[in-house]
Chain A
Amino acid sequence: MTVDQPRNGGVGPLTLTVPAFVGLVFLVGPLIGLLLRTPWLRLPELLADPAVADALRLSLVASAIATALCLLLGVPLAWLLVQPGLPGRPVLRALITVPLVMPPVVGGVALLMLLGRNGVLGAPLAALTGITIPFTTTAVVLAEAFVALPFLVLSVEGALRSADRRYEEAAATLGADRLTVFRRVTVPLVLPGIASGAVLAWARALGEFGATVTFAGSFPGRTQTMPVAVYLALESNPEAALALSVILLLVSVLLLGLLRDRWISR
């Protein structure tokens, strides 16, 4: 019977390093394949297509608004989840997790049932104001926010749960009301959690496909986001699809890198 000793400079037991390496190859391999097959020389020409700029702009704007919406609604929701003495907490958390595990297309159908022209809320809205939501950029933002919100809520909830409550209690003892405590103590305390939740939500929103095509449809410049454009281009012009994919990949990596420097690694 021998005991494995961690040795300096060693990488550890092969039973762990081999699967770890396979896992890494599995994640990085497809990206390398994408980069190898990309028609780099024709890239400028393919990207000069105004449709590409339209899709990219729409994707960035819609995912940014969706992330802002998630922050606005998700941080208070996470706060609610960790309040002591909250009744039905497990049920509430399960409800919040449902959109996370549900296929996005189902999410799109559900949004249509609520907010579509004949939807539970959409029908009265259309009758009263003449406003219909499907097939608009608003629908894209809503679809993205719907699938992204759980990521933010769960991330912020985790941060709140592991935060030291004594600071809040101290602030309350010193006479701060609950909103002030939330604003001046709780939020700064869990800011890294909020930031990483926002990045996760944004990434999920940027890549959204199923709920978007179902609820918002696809029209260039209005509802056709990058993932939808990639899917449609794959049929008619695979080279353009590759070019779009590479751009989407670069933009994601670039923004993640920027945000990481600014926020996450604080």
Chain B
Amino acid sequence: MNRRLSRSCGLLLVVFLTMTGCAGSGAEGSDRRVMVFAAASLTEVFRTVAEDFERKHPDTDVVLSFGSSATLARQLREGAPADVFAAADRRTVAMVTDAGLAPGNPPLFARNRLQIVVPAANPGKVRGLPDLARAELVVALCAPSVPCGAAAQKALRAANLSVRPDSYEKDVKAALAKVVLGEVDAALVYHTDVLAAGDKVIGIELPVAARVTNDYPIAVLRHAANQRAAEAFVAYLRSPAGRRTLSGAGFETP
């Protein structure tokens, strides 16, 4: 009995040590690591920015995690470890600052605008926003809870259109993917997503009255494990070099 007990205690000890060991090595690595949570629409441009930043700061390792800003904000509120949060609108960054996870009024680093995106062959013969209300078209919008979906609702309201989409996608890249694959005739995504998809798609401007822009805030989180590197990343993004990369991808910069 005694031996049995000591054996299972030993097992528990091993399990415990492994777990704490993992945590220890994680903390060590985080000295070099900046965890950046970024809106899906920043996927391509942040990969470039991160590479450029790492070249200038060889001792820093930028780890990127992309998703809808709403998903990322929820993960942060549930305690996801991150140093920087770059959101696609003020509403989703407020979900994080209101919870006290980052200082209020984070700076804006980019601006984007909504566009209609259609497959290169334009099978639905879409010319403008009113076409999206045509019943025979297959249309995808972002879910209203994510920034591109909120922007889409705003644009459609401004144009006084009621559109019944065939799908509400979980983030802007999911909506774009359906257009790239030719499964939908049109979707509302950002200008930068249209550029990122290259010649597989065509972007169509919204009518002036319905033109919707999104401001992208960036926040360094209070619990950032690597505050200094996080500040450096934000500073680089807002530097002339970072702004050049952003405008190259189609973002407007302040």
Contacts and interface: CB of A to CB of B under 8 A. Distances in A.
Residue from A14, A15, A217, A218 with most neighbouring chain B CB atoms (10 Å) = A217
Contact of A217 (B70, B146, B166): B166
Nearest to A222: B166
B170 A234 contact: no
A13 B168 CA distance: 53
Chain A interface residue number, banded: 20 to 34
Contact of B183 (A15, A118, A213): A118
Interface string A228-247: 00011011101000000000
A18 interface: yes
A134 interface: yes
Nearest to B71: A235
A234 B74 CA distance: 8
A17 B174 CA distance: 46
B8 A18 contact: yes
B169 A218 contact: yes
Interface residues of B, number: 28
B4 A14 contact: yes
Contacts, number: 70
B201 interface: no
B181 A217 contact: no
Given A112-B181, A135-B138, A236-B144, A213 B74 contact: no
B168 A117 contact: no
Contacts of B138: 117, 132, 134-135
B213 interface: no
Given A116-B183, A218-B170, A15 B11 contact: yes
A219 interface: yes
A196 interface: no
A118 B185 CA distance: 12
9 contacts: A13-B8, A116-B182, A216-B167, A217-B167, A218-B170, A219-B167, A231-B170, A235-B68, A236-B145
A-B pairs, top 7 by smallest CB distance, nearest first, are A217-B167, A236-B145, A235-B70, A135-B166, A235-B145, A14-B8, A118-B182
